[in-house]
């Protein structure tokens, strides 16, 4: 599915908005379901550090003629990748950006969603350095069956590279760890040239997985491959990141934990001493879980199209508390 993007001025509010056009979203079953998924996810998200849907419309006036639709979202002028190319981030700015990323991620995870494709270009930044997590085109709920070829390679958690069929929300924490290292050092942490090179670059720094972790892997191919590799010791982060402070190193090591079950959650990262100055004693409001029961439906293109059309027709841009039905 191809997207066309532009910005415009909202004639009612006067605010600048981003408009994303989905071109030929119903060309295949995969595209039709993906379009419906993205629409449902955007309708559900309601958090200041997560992109949300302001409006959605179609130029087609009936279900029979329905071929495309437009998503209207807040306009975000830059992304973190571009910001890092334009300027060197100071420590205070890095802490503030990381705090916002983790707050948005904590919300996403609390509603039961894994983003799966966090990278600098998917983190929108405005002129006040306020973050919004973007692009839920790959996101699905935690327990869904997933493939290993969905996340931008450089920020991909090792359990995705190793192609376990089930993984959890901490794949996103690994990605944020890679982003944190990049913000501090100004360079990509694991710039793998291909699937195997990426894994080797990770092991070169993090060390070989323990036998207990290898034995937990569902993929026999992954087990055999890792057992074949020469053992590597974890490098001393103080030596490879000489400019990092002790709290930065401690948090980074806990985010870049090979075993996803030992990796910190977003909530645990937010409670880390590195982010002490941003910690808020007021708990976030209870969230409504995202319902992705539709993922198990075996529908035709026409049926997915009908569901998308219904979501668009029932969307009320004047109701900020609206959730996906």
Cα(308)–Cα(202) distance, integer angstroms = 40
Closest Cα partner for 46 from 77, 81, 14, 74? 74
Cα(310)–Cα(203) distance, integer angstroms = 48
Supply angle C-alpha 265, 246, 91, rounded to 5: 85
DSSP string, 99-138: HHHHHHHHHHHHTTEE-----GGGEEE-TT--EEE---TT
Write the CA distances from 75 to 10, 87, 172, 216, integer angstroms. 11, 21, 24, 43
Cα 44 versus chain centre, distance: 15
Cα 306 versus chain centre, distance: 28
Cα(237)–Cα(219) distance, integer angstroms = 30
- How many other C-beta atoms can be found within 10 angstroms of the C-beta atom of residue 134? 22
What the block records as the tokens of 253 is 């090591």
The residue annotated as part of the active site, out of 10, 61, 79, 117, is 117
Give catalytic status of residue 280 as yes or no: no
Residues with a known catalytic role: 117
């Amino acid at each position: 599915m191809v997207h066309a993007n532009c910005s415009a001025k909202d004639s009612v509010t006067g605010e600048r908005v981003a408009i994303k056009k989905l071109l030929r979203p119903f060309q295949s079953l995969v595209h039709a379901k993906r379009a419906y998924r993205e629409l449902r996810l955007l309708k559900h998200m309601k958090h200041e550090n997560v992109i949300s849907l302001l409006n959605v419309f179609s130029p087609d006036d009936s279900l029979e003629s329905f071929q495309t639709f437009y998503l209207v979202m807040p306009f975000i002028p830059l992304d973190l990748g571009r910001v890092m190319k334009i300027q060197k981030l100071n420590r205070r700015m890095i802490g503030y950006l990381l705090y916002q990323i983790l707050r948005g991620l904590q919300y996403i995870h609390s509603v039961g969603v894994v983003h799966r494709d966090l990278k600098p270009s998917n983190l929108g930044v405005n002129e006040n350095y306020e973050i919004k997590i973007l692009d839920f085109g790959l996101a699905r709920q935690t327990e869904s069956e997933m493939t290993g070829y969905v996340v931008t390679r450089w920020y991909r958690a090792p359990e995705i590279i190793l192609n376990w069929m089930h993984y959890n929300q901490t794949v996103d924490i690994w990605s944020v760890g890679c982003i944190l290292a990049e913000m501090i050092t100004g360079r990509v942490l694991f710039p793998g040239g291909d699937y195997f090179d990426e894994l080797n670059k990770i092991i070169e720094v993090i060390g070989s997985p323990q036998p207990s972790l290898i034995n937990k892997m569902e993929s026999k191919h992954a087990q055999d491959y890792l057992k074949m590799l020469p053992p590597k010791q974890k490098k001393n982060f103080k030596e490879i990141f000489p400019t990092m402070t002790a709290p930065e190193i401690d948090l980074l090591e806990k985010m870049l934990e090979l075993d996803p079950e030992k990796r910190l959650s977003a909530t645990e990262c937010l409670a880390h001493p590195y982010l002490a100055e941003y910690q808020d004693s007021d708990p976030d409001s209870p969230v409504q879980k995202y319902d992705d029961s539709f993922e198990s439906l075996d529908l035709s293109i026409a049926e997915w199209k009908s569901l998308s059309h219904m979501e668009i027709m029932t969307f009320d841009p004047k109701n900020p508390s609206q959730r996906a039905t």
